[in-house]
Amino acid sequence: AVLAAGLLSAAGERGGNRVATLSAEHMAPTMDVVAGSPLAAVVQELWVLPHVFRAFLQDVGDWDVELGPWSPIAAGDDPLAAETHTAIAAGAPALPGVPASFQCQVRRLRAKHRIKYSGFTADTVKVQRLAYDAAESMAYLDEASLISGVPFSQNFVVYQRVVYSAASPRSTRCQGFTHIHFSKRLLLSKTIRAKTNSECSEAQLSFMSFASSTTALGQTMSNEPTAHNASTRESDDASEGPLAVAPSKERVNRGGLWKALTPRIAVLLALTASIRASAEWFFCKISKGGGLGHDG
């Protein structure tokens, strides 16, 4: 029942051209761990205080980091409404809804990092909202990433949500979810979605591991998919609207984009070899018989 409260989807128009709020029910599960500290301590260490997250960004190699301060925001307000510098931000759905009783803060992060599998440098703007209600023993960290410098990045927004709930008086369950909203249909949308889900899962787990090693937060890893996504429908048709797009369950290994292209590359190599063999036969016939009209 407590987790269900986090799956609320607000209706109505919210700033700019945004006409819907992303439903958390359409987000793919990417992390499920238990931190060996109370909920209040986890929220304080990971998010209220900036030093752990800033140190994590430095540890993973991000540079030109600009981490803004937390500012209060109403639970029903849209943190993405101010991001009018890109068309994709204006048309993307708002962050998942939170109950009106939650106290919310928002901050903006900008950083550069190198994509491991492609070598491209991504310039990313992240809008983060922290929502917390001590009485409900629950907190949400919602994030929308607007990426530039990477092929096709102008066509999608990456959403992440981490739900923090009290597993016991001395431990906190941390569940991560991810969704990629496409503004239009892309040939590689399934590959982008699968690769991004995998990278988000890795980043969420890496942050928890980093926090566990640098703070007093102990944790027990249990990265199992949660039940709410089991019946989620997959769709890649952007025309169906942001609430109808469900993330793919397909997972790819590190370097998945190139791995997905391997069969096509193999076909090209085979075709090239065939052409080369034909060319060698052609010149052999000419050199032996003086022309194509001779049997040689």
User: What CATH number does residue 145 fall under?
Assistant: 3.30.530.20
Rounded Cα distance between 81 and 66, Å, is: 20
- Inside any domain, residue 242: no
What integer pLDDT is reported at residue 211 of this predicted model? 93
Q: Which domain holds residue 166?
A: 1-10+24-218+271-279
pLDDT tops 70 at residue 184: yes
Rounded Cα distance between 128 and 2, Å, is: 22
Rounded Cα distance between 128 and 150, Å, is: 21
- Inside any domain, residue 258: no
Higher-scoring residue by pLDDT: 265, 111: 111
- Inside any domain, residue 284: no
- Inside any domain, residue 265: no
pLDDT tops 80 at residue 79: yes
What integer pLDDT is reported at residue 114 of this predicted model? 81
The answer to which of 35-44, 123-132, 143-152, 257-266 has the lowest mean pLDDT is 257-266
- Inside any domain, residue 244: no
Q: Rg (Cα) of the chain, in Å, rounded?
A: 24
pTM exceeds 0.85, yes or no: no
- Inside any domain, residue 245: no
- Inside any domain, residue 239: no
Query: Of 5, 28, 14, whose CA–CA distance to 98 is shortest?
Result: 5
- Inside any domain, residue 94: yes
Q: 10 Å Cβ neighbour count for 45?
A: 19
Looking at the structure of the chain, the number of domains it has is 1
